[in-house]
Amino acid sequence: MIREGSGEALVFEEGSGEALVFEEGSGDALVIEESSGEAVVIEESSGEGLVIEEGSGEALVIREGSGEALMIEEGSGEALVFGEGSGDALVI
């Protein structure tokens, strides 16, 4: 749990299987490494729902207010950066 305004950076190591909730205004950066299989929910102010499947190996940076919905499937190996206010929806 990352609290409001913390501005933390998080790195999840291989196989960690963590679940995360980000609170209002956190504006954090996330890097999720190979095989992490995390579920990430980012609450109010960004409004995201992210599902990152096992083995995805993605690097994600999601900035405050981005408003994205992402699903990244196994083995895609993409790197994504979303800037403030972009409002995109991606399925890879």
**0.85 cut: is pTM over it?**
no
CA neighbor of 71 nearest in space, from 87, 51, 55 = 51
Amino acid at 20: L
Q: CA 73 to CA 92: how far, in whole Å?
A: 6
pLDDT at 68: 55
pLDDT in tens, 25-72: 555 545 444 445 555 544 444 445 554 555 555 555 454 455 555 555
pLDDT band of residue 18 (cuts 50, 70, 90) is low
Among all chains, which residue has been given the structure tokens 């729902």? 49
pLDDT in tens, 73-83: 555 555 554 44
pLDDT band of residue 16 (cuts 50, 70, 90) is low
Sign for the CA dihedral angle at 88, 70, 44, 10 comes to negative
CB 2 within 8 A of CB 26: yes
The domain spans of the chain are 9-37+45-91
